[in-house]
Each structure stands twice: as C-alpha cells, then as structure tokens.
Amino acid sequence: MSALAELRGVTRTYGEVTALAGIDLDIHDGQVLGLLGPNGAGKTTTLSLVSGLIRPTSGSVRLFGRDPRDAAARQHLGTTPQQTALPETLRVREVIDFVGGHFAERVPTGELAEEFGLADLLKRQTGALSGGQKRRLSVALAFVGRPRLVLLDEPTTGLDIDGRHVLWEAIRRQREAGASIVVTSHYLEEIEQLAERVAVIAGGRVVADDDLATVIGSVGTRWASLQSPEAARIAALPQVAGSRIDGDRVELSLRDADAFVRDLVATGAPFTELQLRSATLEEAFLSIVRGEAA
Amino acid sequence: MTTTTTAPARAAASAVSTAPGLGLVRLGLLHAKYLLLETVRVPMAVIGPIVFPALSFAFFILPQRGLVENPTGAAQAVIQLMVFAVMVNALFSYGLNISQARETPWEPYLRTLPAPAGARILGQMLSVGLIGILALVPLFLMGAFFTAAHADAAGIALGFVALVLSSLPFVFAGIAIGYALPFKAAIAVIQIVMFGLAFAGGLFLPPMMFPDWLDAVSRFLPSREARELVIWAVQGGEVPLLELAGAAVWTVALLVLALVLYRRDEGRRYR
C-alpha cells in the first residue's frame, strides 16, 4: 500500500493556540479512513493541510508526493465545500461545470447528477435547494474530477436519517469505483458504517490509528444487559468489570463474555432478556479520549 | 472521423497539467465566466455600472443643448460619466465580491481545486474589466452620435490610460468596503459613497454649475480629481498639479486602508 498523503511531525499553531502538536499520519490508497476527535481537536486543520489551504508551522505534508500548495498536486484530490458555501445565484449544473472545468479527466455533469440524485435539480439555483440537496451537491463536487483521494469533512451534518443513508450509499459506490476517502464526522455511526481504518486525534495528537475492529476491540470488553430481580447478585459475578443497575434492569461490561454466561446460569438466579454485544465505536472513542485526558 | 475530432480535445484537456501558462489562461477564463454569471444575477451589480451612467447621461447631459453642442464641453461631459462608470464598477465589483466572499467559505473551497491562485485573480480582473468596458461603450456611442463632442485619437488613447490609473482609488475603496462590512451593509454604503462622490465630484452636473464653496470642497474628492485628470489627458492644457497630488494621496491612503482591513480580516478568519 502506497501513501497518497503523508503528514510527518506536523505542528500547526494559530497565534498562541496549538491545533496540532507533531502528528504523523499516512493516508493509504484503497481505504476509507475515519478521522475522529472532540471539537477543536485538529481534524479540520489536518484536512486543510492536506488540501493545501494552510501551511504547517513545522513538519512536512505531502500529497501524491508533492507539496499540496502546488496546484498540480491537487489534480487527483476531491474536497467538499461546506453547504453554506455554494454560490446562491449559480445553478446546480453551472456549479458542477465550474468545478469540473478544473480537472483534466472529469465525470460528465449528467452522470454525476444521476449518481447523487441531483438529475432533476440541474436547473435550480443553489440558493433554492434544501439542506439535504445542498449536502448532496457539495459531496458530489468532491467526485467530479475522478479523484484518487477525497476529503469529506462532516459530509452528512444536519441531514435526516434517510438523507444520510442515501449519501452513504453514494460514497460507498465511489469507494468501490476506486476512490480513497478520509471522512470526519460527529456521528460515530457514520464512521462505523463507512470507515475501514480509524485515526483518533485528541489534544493535537494522533492517539489511536488502526483498523476499525482493532480500535473498537481496544476497549477490550463486551457488554451485556438483562432483567433480573437479583440484579445486585449478578453484578457481583467475577467476570463483571462494571455495572449499572436500574431496578430490575442491569447493564454490565464484561471481561470474558463466555465465562460470564456460564457463571450466570450456574447461580440459578432468574433472568430474562439477556443481550450480549460488542462495544461500539462511541464507547471505544470515549474511552480512548478519556484515557488521553487522564 | 471521431478519432480526428477527439484527439485535439484530448490534447487540450491534458494541457491543464502539462502547460501551466495555457492552463492559467484557460482557468482564468473559466473563473471569469462564472464570476460574470454570478454578477449578472445580482441586479444592482449590473445596473450600477452599466445602466446608471447611461441613464445619467440621458437625464443630465443630453437636455442641456448648450453643453451638447459645444465640442469641448460635450467631451468633458462624456468623460465625467465615464469616470462615474469606472468608479461605480470598481466600487461594486470589488466591494460586493469581497464582502460576499468573506461571508461564505466558497473562496477557500476554490483554493483546494487544482488551479493556481493567479487563475482566480485573472478571472476577477477579466470579469471586472469586461463589465467596465460594457459600461463605457454606451457612453462612448452616445457621445459620438448625440453630441458635438470631439477628441483626437491620441487624446482618446491617453484618456483611457488616465481612466484606468485614476480608477485605482475606487478599486482600493471597494476592497476596503468589502473587507470592512458585511454584504448587505456593503450594498448600502457603496450606493451612498457612489452618489456622494458622483454629485460632489462633478460627475453628474459639471462643476462649472457648482456654487463656489462646493467647487472648493469638490477639488479634494477623488472623483473630481479623476475627472480633471482624464479631461487633461484627453484635451491637454495646464497640468492639474493639485488634482494629481490629491489623487496620489487618495490612492496611497486607500491602498493602506485596504491592506490594513485585509490583514485584520485574515486574523479574524483564523481565530
């Protein structure tokens, strides 16, 4: 796997504020990388560096082996404007043609519009689009130049569940067609749906960077919930790492789920509605970020 | 047949990455095209520079038979409205474009596209320049056909050079307004500045019709100074030293103001 973009020892400060404090990050070909972090952790700064909008204070940023501030380095890069950014008086077709005109190899406007559900809106001025339509147009623009690398900063913020699923499908199809993607999101479910690899940025540093499954697994536990009149006794079993009891209902984090189930049955305590599940990315993320803060 | 037609198209497409000079011009034209499209859809941005000067000429100049039939006076009247057109275009184009760009993250997005920074600037110059030319044409034609205005070819050529140079204070004023104010406020302020400078600077009614006190005040305004300088370039006569000095002071002062406001804006954007 070759790196499409590389950040090496990158520090970026804004006056007194340090946004990034020496991060190393490789963006590989053929991956969807989810970039996570609390607000102000440096995600947008990272994307701005890769797209050549800002210079690192120190360290080096390479895009396709070149300086991203060199326009030619960005020929195979796709980015999205924020939805509020679209020029209101231009029509959808004009915006796509304008952006597409920058690329040597571009997707025809009709084809792109079809792909992102904009075919009926081509004559509409962007100021007249709904929030969801603007989002779809913004994301579509990232793909008009047949990019090898696409940066999506909060692609579905403000969309309803339907709109989000439509956009995820479109992004997945683009991924299958060969685009590598970096996505940031407030919705961890979105990252779980789309990403194969996850990097967590907190306090200006990369604090985790691995496969999605490994990052989730790093929390190291499975979770169980059940109903029982003897909740307190069950919560005291040896495999239980933590518990939350609410009347008959108990939620448990477990060291070894299989051993826990054997113990539970052996106690003879009555129980119903036993559910076992893995930790979610959200739980993994919170535990990683808290671990850093501690 | 298809291979012969697609081959040059391919070559043109690959020129984007292989010939930076050609690519810059092509991208500059691309940006100019969509900037113009955006501009023509904000009615004030077109009415201001193109319709106002032509209408003013029809209302203020044409009814004055004495002026219209005097070759020197008529030429001066055409010139003062050309100065007005250039001033309005500079104030509107730069003021509105910049204040609008500051409100949306569209400009930063465009900077992530594979185009050198020069392409955007070239596009802006082309679109502003084209509207400026469109604004001057009707004045030039009305002056030629409906008045006795006369100027020789060398005078006209020098006049256009003077027109471009004396528009600089208005370009910088437009930039300053663009960086100082939000879009809606910018529209209002530009209109006030535009009409104030036009009336008091003798761009609507010739200054010879001013009372003495207004004539005296008027000489300190960039619009009056631009008028006198372009008239001098076209018709010759004594070098208007006072106006030349005044225009230079305005140009430098407004450039400094524009730079200060630009830097303040950068600081704010990256807070």
pLDDT at A294 over 90: no
Q: Which residues on B lie below 8 Å from A52 (Cβ)? A: 111-112
Nearest to A84 among B34, B104, B270 (CB): B104
SS3 call for A253:
strand
Strands A240-246 and A17-28: unpaired
Q: What is the pLDDT of residues B227-258, one digit of tens each?
A: 999 999 999 888 899 999 999 999 999 999 99
Contact A274, A248 (CB under 8 A): no
> Which chain B residues touch A if contact means CB-CB below 8 Å?
13-14, 16-17, 20, 27, 30, 33-34, 37-38, 41-42, 104-106, 108-109, 111-116, 270-271
Main-chain dihedrals φ then ψ at residue B234, nearest 5 degrees: -80, -45
Can you tell me the mean pLDDT for B154-176? Answer: 93
Nearest to A81 among B17, B106, B116 (CB): B106
Can you tell me the mean pLDDT for B146-161? Answer: 91
pLDDT at B2 over 60: no
Asked if A85 lies within 8 A of B109 by C-beta distance, the reply is: yes
Asked if B112 lies within 8 A of A87 by C-beta distance, the reply is: no
CA distance A53 to B111: 7
pLDDT at A132: 87
pLDDT at A233: 85
pLDDT at A98: 96
Nearest to A85 among B33, B106, B113 (CB): B106
Contact B221, B198 (CB under 8 A): no
pLDDT at B270: 46
Nearest residue in chain A measured CA to CA from B103: A85
Contact A44, A19 (CB under 8 A): no
pLDDT at A275 over 90: no
Q: What is the pLDDT of residues A74-115, one digit of tens each?
A: 999 999 987 678 998 999 999 999 999 999 999 999 999 999
Better-scored residue on pLDDT, A142 or A42: A142
Q: What is the pLDDT of residues B176-189, one digit of tens each?
A: 999 899 889 999 99
pLDDT at A1: 47
pLDDT at A221: 64
Q: Which residue has the tokens 């140009």?
A: B251
pLDDT at A62: 95
pLDDT at A144 over 90: yes
B22 within a domain of the structure (yes/no): no
- Three-state secondary structure of A171-240: HHHHHHCCCEEEEECCCHHHHHHHCCEEEEEECCEEEEEEEHHHHHHCCCCEEEEEECCCHHHHHCCCCE
Main-chain dihedrals φ then ψ at residue B125, nearest 5 degrees: -65, -40
Nearest residue in chain B measured CA to CA from A78: B113
Q: Which residues on B lie below 8 Å from A46 (Cβ)? A: none
Q: Which residues on A lie below 8 Å from B16 (Cβ)? A: 75, 102-104
Cβ of residue A14 closer than 8 Å to a chain B Cβ: yes
Task: Place A190 in a pLDDT band, splitting at 50, 70 and 90.
Answer: confident
Q: How far is B185 from chain A (nearest CA, A)?
A: 18
Asked if B270 lies within 8 A of A71 by C-beta distance, the reply is: no
Nearest to A81 among B13, B20, B109 (CB): B109
Its domain, for residue B262, covers 43-269
B125 within a domain of the structure (yes/no): yes
Least Cα distance to A233 among A211, A252, A256, A210 occurs for A252
Strands A249-254 and A149-153: unpaired
What's the fold here for domain A3-217? Rossmann fold (3.40.50)
Q: Which residue has the tokens 């306090």?
A: A203
Q: What is the pLDDT of residues A238-265, one digit of tens each?
A: 888 777 888 888 888 887 888 888 998 9
Concatenate the DSSP letters of all residues of A44-104 into one string. HHHHHHHTTSS--SEEEEEETTB-TTSGGGGTTEEE---GGGS-TTSBHHHHHHHHHTT-S
Q: What is the pLDDT of residues A14-62, one digit of tens each?
A: 888 888 999 999 998 888 999 988 877 888 899 999 999 888 999 999 9
Complex ipTM over 0.90 = no
Nearest residue in chain A measured CA to CA from B120: A102
The interface residues of chain A toward chain B in range 96-135, judged by CB-CB distance below 8 A, are 98-99, 101-105, 125
pLDDT at A236: 85
Q: How many domains does chain B have?
A: 1
Asked if B17 lies within 8 A of A75 by C-beta distance, the reply is: yes
Q: Which of A102, A138, A139 to mutate to test the interface with B (most CBs of B within 10 A)?
A: A102
Main-chain dihedrals φ then ψ at residue B223, nearest 5 degrees: -70, -45
**Domain spans of chain A?**
3-217, 222-278
Those residues with Cβ within 8 angstroms of residue B84's Cβ, 6 or more apart along the chain or in another chain: B52, B53, B56, B198, B203, B204, B223
pLDDT at B267: 47
Asked if A101 lies within 8 A of B41 by C-beta distance, the reply is: no
Contact A226, A250 (CB under 8 A): yes
Tell me whether residue A17 is exposed, middle or buried, using C-beta atoms within 10 angstroms of its C-beta: 0 to 12, 13 to 18, 19 or more. Answer: exposed
Q: How far is A74 from chain B (nearest CA, A)?
A: 5
pLDDT at B3: 38
Main-chain dihedrals φ then ψ at residue B107, nearest 5 degrees: -60, -50
B167 within a domain of the structure (yes/no): yes
pLDDT at B5: 39
Nearest to A71 among B34, B104, B115 (CB): B115
List the single range of A55-69, A118-132, B45-59 with lowest mean pLDDT. B45-59
Q: Which residue has the tokens 């292989």?
A: B18
Can you tell me the mean pLDDT for B179-208? Answer: 91
Asked if B108 lies within 8 A of A77 by C-beta distance, the reply is: no
List the single range of A9-13, A181-185, B95-99, B176-180 with lowest mean pLDDT. B95-99
pLDDT at A154: 87
Cβ of residue A79 closer than 8 Å to a chain B Cβ: yes
Task: Place B20 in a pLDDT band, splitting at 50, 70 and 90.
Answer: low
What CATH number was assigned to the domain covering residues A222-278? 3.30.70
Can you tell me the mean pLDDT for A176-185? Answer: 90
Cβ of residue A69 closer than 8 Å to a chain B Cβ: no
B109 within a domain of the structure (yes/no): yes
pLDDT at B9: 40
Cβ of residue A74 closer than 8 Å to a chain B Cβ: yes
pLDDT at B21: 61
Tell me whether residue A250 is exposed, middle or buried, using C-beta atoms within 10 angstroms of its C-beta: 0 to 12, 13 to 18, 19 or more. Answer: buried
In chain A, the percentage of residues whose pLDDT exceeds 70 is: 96
Asked if B13 lies within 8 A of A104 by C-beta distance, the reply is: yes
Least Cα distance to B132 among B101, B98, B163 occurs for B163
Cβ atoms within 10 Å of B239's Cβ, excluding its own: 10
The first and second tokens of residue B245, run together, are 């000095």
Q: Which residues on B lie below 8 Å from A73 (Cβ)? A: 114
pLDDT at B266: 60
pLDDT at B12 over 70: no
Nearest to A74 among B20, B104, B112 (CB): B112
Please give the mean pLDDT across all residues of chain A. 87
Q: How distant is the alpha carbon of residue B249 from its chain centre?
A: 19
Better-scored residue on pLDDT, A112 or B96: A112
Those residues with Cβ within 8 angstroms of residue B75's Cβ, 6 or more apart along the chain or in another chain: B143, B149, B150, B151, B231, B234, B235
Those residues with Cβ within 8 angstroms of residue B177's Cβ, 6 or more apart along the chain or in another chain: B91, B94, B95, B98, B99, B186, B189, B190, B193
In the A/B pair of chains, how many CB contacts fall below 8 A?
74
